[in-house]
Amino acid sequence: MLNTMDLPEVGVIEKDCDAMTYSISSWFHQGAKSCECDQTGSISRSCDPSGGQCECREGVTGRTCNQCAAGFFGFSHTGCQMCDCNRRGTVNQSQFCEQQSGQCQCLEGVGGRQCDRCLPGFYDFPNCKKCECNGHANECDSVSGECLSCAHDTTGANCERCADGYYGDPTSVTNSQCTPCPCPDGPKSNRQFADTCGLSRMRGSSSREDDARGPRPSMVMCNCNPGYQGLQCDQCAPGHFGNPMEPFGSCNPCECNGNIDTSDPDACDARTGECLKCLYNRGGDDCSECADGYYEQPNADGTDFTCVPCGCDERGGDPFIGNTVRSALFYLFLFRILVRQKDWPVRMS
């Protein structure tokens, strides 16, 4: 039976082993070997006498502290940084990265050094999907997928419709071009009187024929701005005047003080704006005066005036004189001038 009292103490064994290790190492290397600790990765130039392990900085490994440990990158005098890869965005939830750049191994469509976001052109991390912009934008919102900076005169969350002033089908595989609305000269001209337009099928034509010929100008329906009319919005609407056919031309409301029927094409002159068919017993070039045989009378509340019949006796009233207070004063003034000039003798009684 082994007598434990005869065994040496543990500390004595370690010292003996250390001595044997040193002896064997010295014999193998033909003397003591230099530590050769890396000045960048080690804390000091000294090493463990047993094995020669240098004292490494944080994240650094190797006997001489000359490289980053697994899961670290960026070997420098301050040590190595942790990769800190986002498990949701890396292949097999890996936490390892490339030791020079620190780039983690990302899933398809995932980007960033740590694989923590979608690449440009993708959205919905970590299940990054390609942006659906119908070929009119390269990027979209990383969360919602709404397309950013739609090109080719398109707009919408997926660049799926033409911008105002253009028509077409941006989602079409064969022809996704948006064409300027001819209303009449296009949105970037100085003669464009509609914000939107659309295609309308001509009677008697099949969709197959239309697709073969392509969109025709005669099929474009302009949604004219207020004050304009016509297939290409190149005419003034009733109640408006101007010359939209000339460069920088436009149509403006006829200045008739609200006293015409703006739906009547003959209410005012389409070129000059002269008021032609005044309403409410009004007259004059701008329908601001009362017509012959009428005079202004204030309303009951005193906020406005209306034109009412003069009510003159036909036997003693001149329908061309005195129909307004203004004309009566004029003739009285003229009469006094004639008297003063003695061109019209007056007998005093």
Mean pLDDT along residues 209-233: 78
Between 51 and 23, the more confident residue is: 51
% of the chain with per-residue pLDDT over 90: 68
Looking at residue 88, what DSSP letter applies? G
Angle 223-224-226 from CA coordinates, rounded to 5°: 130
Backbone angles phi, psi at 203, to 5 degrees: -65, 140
Band (pLDDT 50/70/90 cuts) for residue 322 is: very low
| pLDDT score at 260 | 97
C-beta pairs of 169-178 under 8 Å, 24+ apart in sequence: 170/134, 170/136, 171/134, 175/214, 176/134, 176/135, 176/136, 176/152, 177/152, 178/152, 178/153, 178/154
Q: How far apart are the first and last CA of the chain?
A: 176
Is there a domain that residue 238 lies in? yes
Q: Is it true that the peptide bond before 126 is cis, omega within 30 degrees of 0?
A: yes
Looking at residue 248, what DSSP letter applies? T
Between 318 and 93, the more confident residue is: 93
Q: How many residues would you count in the chain? A: 349
Count Cα atoms within 13 angstroms, Cβ side, for 38: 19
| pLDDT score at 55 | 96
The residue type found at 272 is T
Is there a domain that residue 230 lies in? yes
Band (pLDDT 50/70/90 cuts) for residue 63 is: very high
Is there a domain that residue 229 lies in? yes
| Parent domain of 194 | 181-253
| pLDDT score at 16 | 55
Mean pLDDT score of the chain:
84
| pLDDT score at 348 | 41
Residue in 292, 299, 342, 290 with CA at minimum distance from that of residue 318: 292
CA distances from 125 to 86, 88, 110, 112, 131 (A): 11, 9, 7, 12, 12
Joined tokens for residue 299: 């309303």
For residues 85 and 115, the answer to whether their CB atoms sit within 8 Å is yes
Band (pLDDT 50/70/90 cuts) for residue 349 is: very low
Question: How far is Cα 31 from Cα 24, in angstroms, rounded to an integer?
Answer: 10
At 130, is the secondary structure helix, strand, or coil?
A: strand
Per residue in 96-154, pLDDT (tens digit) is 999 999 999 999 999 999 999 999 999 999 999 999 999 999 999 999 999 999 999 99
Is there a domain that residue 70 lies in? no
Is there a domain that residue 207 lies in? yes
Joined tokens for residue 279: 């309403």
Mean pLDDT along residues 168-196: 93
Q: Which residue has the tokens 């620190």?
A: 102
| pLDDT score at 107 | 97
Joined tokens for residue 81: 């940084």
For residues 295 and 307, the answer to whether their CB atoms sit within 8 Å is yes
Joined tokens for residue 96: 């390892």
Structural domain count, the chain: 1
Its pTM stands at: 0.62
Residues 6 or more apart from 201 whose CB is under 8 A from it? 207, 210, 219
Band (pLDDT 50/70/90 cuts) for residue 209 is: low
| pLDDT score at 17 | 57
Bridge partner residues of 297 (DSSP): 306
Range in 157-171, 251-265, 288-302, 315-329 with the lowest mean pLDDT: 315-329
Is there a domain that residue 231 lies in? yes
Is there a domain that residue 204 lies in? yes
Is there a domain that residue 46 lies in? no
